[in-house]
Amino acid sequence: MSLPQTFQNQHVVITGGSSGIGLCLAQTLAERGARLTLLGRDLHKLEDAAAQVTGSVQVASVDVSKEQAVAEFFEGVDQLDHLVTAAAGTVRGTVQELEVTLARALFDSKYWGQYHCAKYAAPRLSPHGSMVLFSGWISRKPMAGVSTLAAVDAAIEALGRTLALELAPRRVNVITPGMIDTPLWSARLSAEAQRDHFARIADILPVGRAGTPEDIAHAVLFLLENGFTTGAVIDVDGGQR
């Protein structure tokens, strides 16, 4: 059975589109007729990702933490229907232990990166378009050692709620992913450690498993399609407590 072409000829820009959630979403939207632009820092990874997407897709190497780079990219965009800022980032350490430069770097990449994209995409965004920002479950369910990440995620949620008012009738929403099994974990843990980690997550969560990129892509798809949802922060975290 063919999928509904609800995004036919619509242009969707996805940051962090070279892997994980961003790539999964790109594949989902391409199947529904969207015209995609994937943003990221590594052009080779973006080109590899584009090769995995069947449909209209282009890529652009943009460091979203750099305001001028983001401004220049969106100056060249003539039509924009949706923006999804799925680029990820994290840092761990208590306030006393974590170097301030590392804390600032996380704000630069995860908060200011999304801020830059929202600011410079807004003038190009269709009156019926939308934005989906990304925070994380740590914002409202914190634990020791992630104070910087909790602060960044909370700031993104506040930004999204306010932008929903400032950019109306265009819609702005925020996705709050939980523990999602993506390629990012490979940079932190060995294959065996990843299996053990996600087995523990499965034991803890009410749904009995970790999340997948498909789970998050499904939630983003809802926010892009539902014209009566704005200013919302949607938890997709398996019942994380």
Q: Which domains does the chain have, with CATH numbers?
A: 11-235 (3.40.50.720)
28-65 pLDDT per residue, tens: 999 999 999 999 999 999 999 999 999 999 999 999 99
pTM for the predicted model, two decimal places: 0.92
pLDDT above 80: residue 241 = no
- Sheet order of strands, 125-134 included: 56-61, 35-40, 11-15, 80-85, 125-134, 171-177, 233-236
pLDDT at res. 187? 60
AA identity, residue 110 = K
Could you tell me if 234 and 176 are in contact, meaning their C-beta atoms sit under 8 angstroms apart?
yes
Could you tell me if 110 and 154 are in contact, meaning their C-beta atoms sit under 8 angstroms apart?
no
Mean pLDDT across 129-136: 96
Q: Where are the beta strands (DSSP E) in 62-120?
A: 80-85
